[in-house]
Amino acid sequence: MIIERRVSGLLIVATLGAALFLALLPLPDALSAVRPAIYPATVLFWVLMQPMSFGLIAAWCCGILIDVIYGTPFGEHGLAMAVAGYAVIRLRDLLWTFPVWQQSVLLLPVFILYEFVLFWIDGVAGAEVNQWWRWLPVLTTTVIWPFWASLLERIAEFEVG
């Protein structure tokens, strides 16, 4: 497990960059609605695996970046990311006892929480999107998590040796 060792900051930035690339890749509308939230998943992965170097403040900064790119109110995604990160920290002891593919079941509520914070702020800001398919990315992220997380773990293990 890579949680025992510190991964270099460069690797974290590189994986976040790759996730952001996947998040920004233009897709047709129908696909875009079910696009898994790879970027938040990556942030949460590092919150889970690198508690010493990647904490809530880093997660918040990653969210702020999304706010800039999406043009959402400053701090919306930051807050959602930090809240989800906090949930991961709370669940961390439990999460570590499971293999990656079982973690995703436990992370489903975390992804729901992330989406719910966004949904709430959107509603308050008057940009309400109250359609059931808004929650589809939560499911696809849960499905994609085992693959994405084990890929990230492989890469990290490869780096720390």
Partner 1 sequence: MRGLAEDDKTPFLGRRIAPGIRIVAIAIISIILMMVDHASTSLTPVRSTLAVATQPIQMIAEMPGEIAHYMGRYFDRGQLITENEALEQKVLLLQARLQRLASLQAENERIRALLASASSLDQNVLIARILSVSPDPYRHYIKLNKGSTDGVFVGQALVDANGIMGQVTDVTPLDSRAILITDANHGIPVEINRTGLQTIAQGSGKSNELRLPFLANNADIRADDLLVTSGLGGRYPAGYPVGTVTSVVHQPGDEFLDVVANPSAHLNRGREVLLVWTSNTEAQAREDEAITEAAPADDAGAEPTAP
Judged by the rule CB under 8 A, the positions of this chain that interact with partner 1 are 3-4, 17, 20-21, 23-26, 29, 32-33, 51-53, 55-57, 60, 64-65, 68-76, 78-79, 82-83, 86, 89, 92-93, 96-97, 121, 125-129, 134
Q: How far is the CB of 161 from partner 1 (least distance, A)?
A: 20
Q: What is the sign of the dihedral through the CA atoms of 97, 100, 101 and 104?
A: positive
**In this complex, which beta carbon is closest to partner 1, that of residue 65 or of residue 106?**
65
How crowded is residue 121: how many other Cβ atoms within 10 Å of its Cβ? 17
How many residues are recorded in the chain? 161
Please identify, using beta-carbon distances, which residue of 70 and 101 lies nearer to partner 1.
70
In the complex, the smallest distance separating the C-beta of residue 52 from partner 1, rounded to whole angstroms, is: 5
> Distance between CA 137 and CA 1 in Å, rounded?
28
Q: State the nearest-atom distance from the C-beta of 61 to partner 1, in Å.
A: 10
How far apart are CB 71 and partner 1 at their closest, in Å? 6
Let me know if 94 is exposed, middle or buried by CB neighbors in 10 A (0-12, 13-18, 19+): exposed
d(CA 36, CA 47): 18
